[in-house]
């Protein structure tokens, strides 16, 4: 089963777009050219600026972050994602190479989707499939990643 995500507007995106649009409309009366420019920027942001993600078929807004982690942590992270009762080890010391952990998560609803990537020949190649984490496992991973961010 392949998990797919779609980009969506978040409340923050809509607020920022509305502020830029309002600033453009207000500035139009002082400097018409600059006001029109800002208003057009606000409209374009409203159309195209999407920072959130949702899994197809669900309504939970997710945030995406990528972490470069030391290669020595790969086994513990892979074991954690496979469902083994392992404490995920997360270090950012990159002396021995790096792996990338991409996480789609929602901090308020304990849900996360994670995937590991290996760095090889100047590209990242998937080392695992996207894994869905819920409840305590999702909270544990999110808290570990917040401690290094």
Same domain, yes or no, for 77 and 10? no
Q: Please, are residues 113 and 137 in contact by the beta-carbon 8 Å criterion?
A: no
Domain count for the chain, please give it.
Answer: 2
d(CA 22, CA 28): 10
- Same structural domain, 129 and 87: yes
Whether residue 74 sits in one domain with residue 35: no
55, 77, 96 - which closes a domain: 55
Tens digits of residue pLDDT in 8-62: 988 899 999 999 999 999 999 999 999 999 999 999 999 998 889 988 888 888 9
**Of residues 46, 48, 1, 54, the one with CA closest to residue 21:** 46
Together in a domain, 23 and 96: no
Helices and strands in the chain, H and E counts: 4, 7
Q: Are residues 74 and 116 in the same domain?
A: yes
- Model pTM? 0.79
Domain holding 18, by residue range, is 5-55
Which tokens hold the place of 72? 């020595």
Q: What's the pLDDT tens digit per position in 74-125?
A: 888 888 888 877 777 777 766 667 888 899 988 788 888 999 998 888 888 8
Which helix (H) or strand (E) is 137 found in, with range?
helix 136-148
């Amino acid at each position: 089963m392949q998990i797919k995500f779609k980009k969506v507007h978040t409340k923050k995106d809509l607020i920022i777009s509305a502020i830029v649009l309002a600033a453009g409309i207000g500035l139009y009366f002082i400097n018409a050219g600059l006001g029109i420019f800002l208003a057009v920027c606000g409209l374009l942001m409203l159309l195209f600026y999407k920072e959130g993600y949702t899994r197809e078929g669900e309504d939970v807004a997710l945030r995406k972050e990528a972490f470069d982690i030391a290669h020595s942590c790969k086994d513990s992270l892979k074991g954690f994602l496979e469902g083994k009762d392992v404490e995920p080890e997360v270090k950012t010391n990159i002396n021995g190479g790096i792996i990338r952990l991409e996480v789609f998560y929602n901090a308020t609803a304990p849900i996360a989707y994670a995937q590991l990537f290996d760095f090889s020949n100047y590209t990242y190649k998937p080392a695992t499939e996207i894994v869905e984490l819920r409840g305590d496992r999702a909270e544990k991973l999110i808290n570990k990643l917040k401690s290094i961010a």
